[in-house]
């Protein structure tokens, strides 16, 4: 859609693969290999990047442990990556005035950040609930510079993250039946919602939580 994209991830090969799919006529895309859990690497990234019209915080890791079995290292990893990392990056970009006036920030949270349907998903839900709340706080505090902040909250999506969960094939089939559309989301369907919130088509929308859940929250 004409954007110049800066990719940030710890996985360089994944970013190269993503760049290979971009429209070759739109030059200027770049990527940074960054461990978002490393504050010095994040600070270096922020110092180096140009001013941004949009930011998508799309980092996340799952965790399936009953509450009484959650270890401190589980908490530090899941909350550190799902919640703290996007908060630190966003705060630093704002502090260093790296957002253009009228910029849009989008956080990928989760339906689990609003509703807890699944046992052993409490820590993940906690991390995404905090992120959903933070997105609203950004909307309030950053509005003085004309910066919008919104959250996309998908349900299950057909990605490798879903495949990492310890569910059997029968459990997946039963879960899909709880969706009115009888299927999980495709990544492109979540991306379309993010693009909408980044674009001028949503210029008067801020502090919003957009469910992309195929109607799952209705049941």
CB neighbours (10 Å) of residue 71?
A: 10
| Residue from 31, 32, 115, 124 carrying the catalytic annotation | 124
Q: What is the DSSP letter of 207?
A: S
**Cα–Cα distance list, 194 to 17, 40, 50, 117, 147 (Å):** 20, 28, 21, 24, 16
134 is catalytic: no
Q: Whole-angstrom Cα distance, residue 32 to residue 158?
A: 26
Question: Which strand ranges, in their side-by-side order, compose the sheet holding 209-212?
Answer: 52-57, 99-108, 148-154, 209-212
**Cα–Cα distance list, 129 to 45, 81, 108, 152, 180 (Å):** 26, 14, 11, 12, 24
Q: Taking the CA atoms of the chain, what radius of gyration do you get in angstroms?
A: 18
> Which ranges of the chain would DSSP assign to H, the alpha helix?
12-20, 39-48, 72-79, 85-95, 122-142, 160-163, 169-176, 187-198
For the annotated catalytic residues, the residue numbers are 124
């Amino acid at each position: 859609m004409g954007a110049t994209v800066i990719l940030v991830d710890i996985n360089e090969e994944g970013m190269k693969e993503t760049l290979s799919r971009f429209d070759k006529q739109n030059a200027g895309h770049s990527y940074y290999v960054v461990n978002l859990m490393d504050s010095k690497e994040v600070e270096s990234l922020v110092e180096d990047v140009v001013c941004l019209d949009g930011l998508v915080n799309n980092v996340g890791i799952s965790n399936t442990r009953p509450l009484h079995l959650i270890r401190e290292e589980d908490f530090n990893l899941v909350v550190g990556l799902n919640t703290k990392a996007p908060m630190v990056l966003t705060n630093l970009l704002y502090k260093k005035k790296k957002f253009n006036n009228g910029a849009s920030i989008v956080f990928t949270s989760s339906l689990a950040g609003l509703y807890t349907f699944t046992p052993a998903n409490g820590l993940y839900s906690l991390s995404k609930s905090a992120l959903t709340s933070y997105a609203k706080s950004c909307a309030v505090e950053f509005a003085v510079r004309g910066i919008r902040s919104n959250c996309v909250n998908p349900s299950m999506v057909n990605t490798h993250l879903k495949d990492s969960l310890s569910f059997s094939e029968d459990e997946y089939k039963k879960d899909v039946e709880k969706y009115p559309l009888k299927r999980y989301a495709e990544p492109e369907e979540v991306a379309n919602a993010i693009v909408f919130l980044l674009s001028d088509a949503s210029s008067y929308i801020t502090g919003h939580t957009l469910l992309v859940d195929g109607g799952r929250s209705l049941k």
